[in-house]
Amino acid sequence: MKFFAPALFVPDGPPSRSAVRFLKPCLFFILCALPLSGSGCSEDEEDSWQLVWEDDFDGPADSRPSTSNWQFDIGTDWGNAQLEYDTDEIRNVSLDGDGHLRITAREEAYNGRNYTSGRITTADRFEQAYGRFEARIRLPIGQGIWPAFWLLGSDFGRVGWPECGEIDILEYRGQDPRFVHGSVHGPGYSGGGAITGSYDLGTSFADDFHVFAVEWEREQITWLVDGIRYQTMSIASLPPGGRWVFDHPFFIILNVAVGGNYVGNPDASTPFPQTMLIDYVRVYKGRE
């Protein structure tokens, strides 16, 4: 199904934050006035969520993201045969000075690895069970590039994975830039056996920013791209013997992996550096 909106002038590059603040109410009015089903802009839907946490990544260029919101995972592999070493270096994770966070994968020797990148989490800073988790992101591109926006159960350190549960809001293979994937991992359905679905944009996700979200309820999770719902998973989706473990707080992870089981290794066609650009991350809870 195609969605059409009145033409708007869009300048080259990401809009300034002041322009976004000006355009947001205008765009909301335009989209909600359109006689389209599934537009997701009804007043009832707007009123159903309450913002409880956000990071708009405002700050000087080449500064680190807020330490009150994020911490760094420093190291390599993480169990997926990834090739990069994730650092807390500015060249891998920093603000760009225009209201965006940059996570940049680079081809360079570091601590025995041939690539560096970044991985940040809200562990010990922010966690929540249920609600709407969303981020506006421009994705990188290239064989073996593996960016992700995901949630991990906050009891990971006590019960391990996959018992803690994992919700992949966005996973992406850089060699397949039209497609993003949303998955859940838990006991009886993890790794290659995860319950997953995909969304085909029809063009490259590397060309512009898009909003990736989940709406997480007690017994189901729904995935969205730019407000379009493309899959829902529930307790009924689990395989025989699988257990629903999405009933406790999770924390947020943003990272760009290089290589690994999910995407394969980079090759001569993969350009470096590659950057995932994040405009914001926001978390809502349902209004009571």
| Helix, strand, coil percent values for the chain (each to nearest 5) | 10, 40, 50
Within its chain, how far is the Cα of 196 from the centroid? Answer: 15
| Residue 280: count of CB within 10 angstroms of its CB | 20
Of 217, 209, 69, give the one whose Cα is nearest residue 132. 217
Q: Which one from 84, 89, 134, 171 is the annotated catalytic residue?
A: 171
Asked if residues 161 and 191 have their Cβ atoms less than 8 Å apart, the reply is no
Structure letter (DSSP) for residue 155: T
Active site residue 166: yes
| Residue 206 to residues 66, 118, 157, 203, Cα–Cα distance (Å) | 26, 18, 34, 9
Taking phi first (over 0 means left), then psi (-120 to 50 degrees means alpha), and beta for anything else, what does residue 65 get?
beta
Q: Going by C-beta distance under 8 Å and a sequence separation of 6 or more, which residues neighbour residue 59?
A: 65, 66, 95, 97
Active site residue 171: yes
Q: Which one from 84, 127, 166, 215 is the annotated catalytic residue?
A: 166
Catalytic residues: 166, 171
